[in-house]
């Protein structure tokens, strides 16, 4: 039962990906900016996945990572809170003849879940949509859905601490994003810093530990961090 104080994951912060036009623009931009197959290979290796593994991806977006992972595992449960995103992802799966990805409407805190514990959980650039208290609840929920020894692959914008000059740091990162991608992605980075809920590294790492997730790998480039954690 949903409580009246439950955080609403469907509330859009930043770009509204409920609109089909925004979903189409997002998908086209990601096709240009991401090397999805390299991402999937990295995730497969870090999570120690096998052909018998089941994976839960939260914040699948238009499904590219889930579809790439599907070739090397038994089943991918790919969740997103946006019906428009899921419809786009399902269309791509149908066009490519991929049958071992189930697209489910849900997020970190609510919606559909895999019925059984999973071997791996993947979430990229999604956890920052939650304020910190709800991040802690989301991490605890993910930990509860992992089998013992299962792993979480978390990639997101995380602010490093301590730092004497955040203004200079943010300005440098935004210009690096602009040089590497395009003006629209740089604009969205500015909006992210201003409006969304990325947290400090020491806070996130404390949340992971309290959720029973042990960090086995961490990498940071600018303010984009990858954490691989084991239950």
pLDDT tens per residue across span 117-166 = 999 999 999 999 999 999 999 999 999 999 999 999 999 999 988 878 88
CATH number of the CATH domain containing 74: 3.40.50.150
What's the pTM value of the predicted model, to 2 decimals? Answer: 0.91
Question: In the numeric block, which tokens belong to residue 128?
Answer: 């920052």
Neighbour-count burial of 57, counting CB atoms closer than 10 A to its CB (0-12 exposed, 13-18 middle, 19+ buried): buried
Collapsing DSSP to helix, strand or coil, 76 comes out as strand
In a domain, residue 7? The reply is no
**Cis status of the peptide bond prior to 162, with omega within 30 of 0:** yes
169 within some domain: yes
Percent of the chain with pLDDT over 90: 64
Q: Find the mean pLDDT for residues 175-196.
A: 88
Cβ atoms of 146 and 140 closer than 8 Å: no
User: Would you say residue 5 lies in a domain?
Assistant: no
Q: Cβ contacts of residue 23 below 8 Å, gap of 6+? A: 17, 62, 82, 84, 85, 88
Domain that holds residue 136: 20-230
**Which residues are bridge partners to 151 per DSSP?**
120, 230
Helix (H) / strand (E) containing 30: helix 20-33
Q: What is the count of structural domains for the chain?
A: 1
User: 148 in a domain, yes or no?
Assistant: yes
């Amino acid at each position: 039962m949903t409580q009246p104080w439950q955080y609403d994951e469907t509330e859009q912060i930043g770009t509204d990906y409920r609109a089909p036009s925004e979903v189409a623009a997002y998908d086209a931009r990601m096709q240009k900016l991401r090397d999805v197959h390299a991402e999937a290979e990295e995730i497969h290796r870090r999570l120690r996945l096998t052909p018998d593994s089941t994976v839960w991806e939260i914040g699948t977006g238009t499904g590219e990572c889930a579809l790439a992972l599907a070739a090397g595992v038994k089943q991918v449960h790919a969740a997103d809170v946006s019906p428009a995103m899921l419809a786009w992802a399902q269309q791509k799966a149908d066009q490519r003849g991929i049958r071992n990805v189930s697209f489910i409407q849900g997020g970190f805190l609510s919606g559909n879940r895999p019925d059984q514990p999973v071997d791996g959980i993947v979430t990229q650039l999604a956890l920052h949509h939650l304020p910190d208290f709800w991040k802690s609840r989301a991490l605890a929920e993910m930990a509860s859905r992992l089998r013992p020894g299962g792993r979480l692959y978390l990639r997101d914008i995380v602010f490093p601490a301590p730092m004497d000059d955040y203004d200079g740091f943010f300005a440098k990162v935004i210009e690096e994003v602009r040089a590497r991608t395009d003006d629209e992605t740089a604009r969205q980075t500015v909006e992210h810093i201003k409006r969304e809920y990325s947290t400090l590294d020491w806070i996130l790492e404390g949340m992971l530990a309290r959720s029973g997730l042990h960090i086995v790998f961490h990498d940071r480039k600018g303010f984009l961090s990858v954490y691989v954690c084991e239950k």
